[in-house]
Amino acid sequence: MTDIHEVLDRRAVTTLFQPLVEIASGRVLGYEALSRGPAGSPWETPAALFGAARQFGRESELDWICRARAYESALAAGLDEGLSWFVNMEPAAARTACPPDLAPVVERAERRLRVVTEMTERAIAVDPSGLLSAAAACRAAGWGVALDDVGADPMSLALMPFVHPDVVKLDMAMLRAPGDPHTARVVAAVAAYAEASGAVVLAEGIETEQHLAVARTMGATVGQGWHFGRPAPLAGPDGASASLPLITPPRNGVRTPFGIVAGRRPVARTTKAQLMPMSRHLEALAADGGEPAVLLACFQDARHFTPATARRFARIALSSPLVAAFGTGLSDEPAVGVRGACPGDDDTLCGEWNVIVVGPHRAAALVARDLGDRGPEGERRFDFALTHDRALVVEAARSLLRWLAPVRTPELLVG
């Protein structure tokens, strides 16, 4: 083939599969689909394939091609219907329509396959709204969601509860450095999430019996790696299989943080001057360098996002996976490294002052609703509620992500 356009136009992508195995029993629970370009071509590896497609603005199309080819192979294999098929997806592709020629196989897959869509933590920082929409669409089809490469980026742990994955895939580096302090922090955070949610912990990169033993100590119940099988075309069943459990999906609604928290926590009334110390305290939690945390704050109006506030938020953004400010008149980047969102003047969010912090081991939310006073600024009154209930805080935080647009990237030149 002469160029990447011919590869994509001919849908010249093949799929290899690697087994996912229940560690305790050795039973196969499913397979991960791994896409490859034409053998012997410059685009054979996934990195080269996607890099070339990205250069010409066809990455989302390639994502659809890879998924469709994986579904096609899984359907043709005729294996146990209880098996789970792990297939990677970039949330940006969910914003583009499926190419018409691929739609039939995608529709058959939705009816007949048990798919677990794999996403990476970087996707939520780039396009939070797109990721949540993509995850919701997967769950609406009865499919699951997996968070891939957890631990590869120290900031990924704070983003894990937003994805609310059915499966957490520990990056293979964790098995190679079990005594590293970073590994210990990752394993503790993943164990806490799995215990609270019922999610499955899967260890990637298991190549030896030693790796398998380490994976068990990290709480992994499912393994993947050369110890169980290398990527290969699908063959007939070679042993007992079982179904991988999925967890209860998170609640997704259209309520604001105040509506979510105030519905389940006591509400009090006070002035802006009295709320300020609480707000700054929560900012300080996010600024604590001990664990990267997500910070989301609603300012009602851009005038409340003062230069001093901008400096504080920019400092926090240096060590945070996601810092965002919401308010009428705010730009897409009101401070360096800070995401901005500008709700409409009639948006219910404009009446709220919220500060929400979510870290791997801590969570807190101050939510307040303006009562509309017109007096001195410090005497303006608010109804407010404060919570450290992790599940409630995460639900409130998730409700804000739909206002965040994808990060803008420079336009690519098409040759």
- Could you please report the per-residue DSSP string of 370-388? E----S-GGG-EEEEEEE-
Ordered domains of the chain (ranges, CATH):
4-223 (3.20.20.450), 257-401 (3.30.870)
In the numeric block, the tokens 């945390």 are attached to: 293
Residue among 246, 191, 185 at smallest CA distance from 218: 191
Which pLDDT score, from 0 to 100, does residue 375 have? Answer: 87
Which pLDDT score, from 0 to 100, does residue 414 have? Answer: 34
Residue 136 — pLDDT band, cuts 50, 70, 90? confident
Q: Residues 359, 363, 369, CA angle at the centre, nearest 5°?
A: 125
**Bigger pLDDT: 239 vs 275:** 275
Structure tokens at 269: 């009334």
Percent of the chain whose pLDDT exceeds 90: 74
> Is residue 413's pLDDT more than 60?
no
Residue 122 — pLDDT band, cuts 50, 70, 90? low
Model pLDDT for residues 82-115, shown as the tens digit of each residue: 999 999 998 778 788 999 999 999 999 999 999 9
Give just the sign of the alpha carbon dihedral 126, 128, 132, 133. Answer: negative
Model pLDDT for residues 353-375, shown as the tens digit of each residue: 999 999 988 899 999 999 999 88
Residue 120 — pLDDT band, cuts 50, 70, 90? confident
Amino acid letter for position 104 = P
Mean pLDDT computed over 225-245: 86
Predicted structure pTM score: 0.88
Percent of the chain whose pLDDT exceeds 70: 95
Mean pLDDT of all residues in the chain? Answer: 91
Mean pLDDT computed over 283-310: 90
Give just the sign of the alpha carbon dihedral 67, 69, 70, 72. Answer: positive
- Alpha-carbon distance of 339 to 334, in angstroms, equals 7
In the numeric block, the tokens 């609604």 are attached to: 253
**Which of 52-66, 142-156, 217-231 has the lowest average pLDDT?**
142-156
Mean pLDDT computed over 319-331: 93
